[in-house]
Structure 1
């Protein structure tokens, strides 16, 4: 897309991002609230990348780096704008960020049931590692 702009999210984008995820992303997270999105932006202001076309939010990815691991979450593209290179542009921006920060490998969180996304991740050069499983534990809220 020639008019695609990728920028980092601002705290004021939280409500729009949450609305976008309800439309474009698969699954939900315990952090899917304004406090969660604002907390991410406050902690790592360059982690949440937004793709816009003509002022419309058309894609997102979270590119988090903790000094050890490069983690990708919430790669999502508006259904009406898929197959236009938006996900590829977001991943390229995320990978540039990781390289600039000294990252060595990007790990992507991809829902197993989201089979429609698997070919896109493979096309971007990612592969599944079956010997790993994600273990989670919800933490109490203060």
Structure 2
């Protein structure tokens, strides 16, 4: 995977992120619009981590940090690029970010119907907390 580039977002990525999530992410959110994503990037561009290969977006994860907890959203990999370690590389970058910020545990919101996503999170070492319906991993 030496040709994979992991980078933070820029304001120029807003439209591409929304287009990518339409094909690669499961489900939508009320904040899936240019204003919502633009606000996120303006506030904390490093929270949006992008994987690129040959200049093309192939994966994303949002690694949100509120100063106390680490939250993961929008882990998505291009359907034609799955099972190549991209998701793992994105989560590793997110976990490094969290550790550098002082975070100790990440949690992820995973749709119950998203079996593919649940398998990916489990493979990365995350486990469900049924009482909260969230997935967590300590690091």
TM-score range, shorter chain: over 0.9
The runs of 5 or more residues in structure 2 that have no matched partner are 135-139
Distance, in Å, in 1 between the alignment partners of 2:93 and 2:54 is 19
Question: Which residue matches 1:38?
Answer: 38
Displaced runs of 4 or more, over 6 A: none
Please tell me whether residue 79 in structure 1 is matched to residue 74 in structure 2. Answer: no
Counterparts in 2 of 1:3-22, with a 5 A limit? 3-22=3-22
Question: After the TM superposition, which residues 71-110 of structure 1 pair with which residues of structure 2 at under 5 Å, given as runs?
Answer: 71-110=71-110
- Partner SS state of residue 45, structure 2: coil
| 1:133 positional shift | 4.5
TM (normalized to structure 2)? 0.94
- CA RMSD after TM alignment: 1.0
The separation in 1 between residues aligned to 2:127 and 2:133, in whole angstroms, is 14
Tell me the distance in 1 between the aligned counterparts of 2:90 and 2:124.
11
Equivalences, count:
134
Q: Secondary structure at the match of 1:44?
A: helix
Higher Rg: 1
DSSP-derived class of the 1:117 partner: helix
How far is 1:119 from its partner? 1.4
In structure 1, list runs of 5 or more residues that go unmatched.
135-142
Q: Which residue of 2 aligns with 1:130?
A: 130
Greater helix fraction, Structure 1 or Structure 2: 2
1:24 to 2:16 alignment:
no
Deviation at 1:99, TM superposition (A): 0.2
Deviations 1:46-82 (A, max 9, x none): 1000000000000000000000110000000000000
Shift of 1:37: 0.8
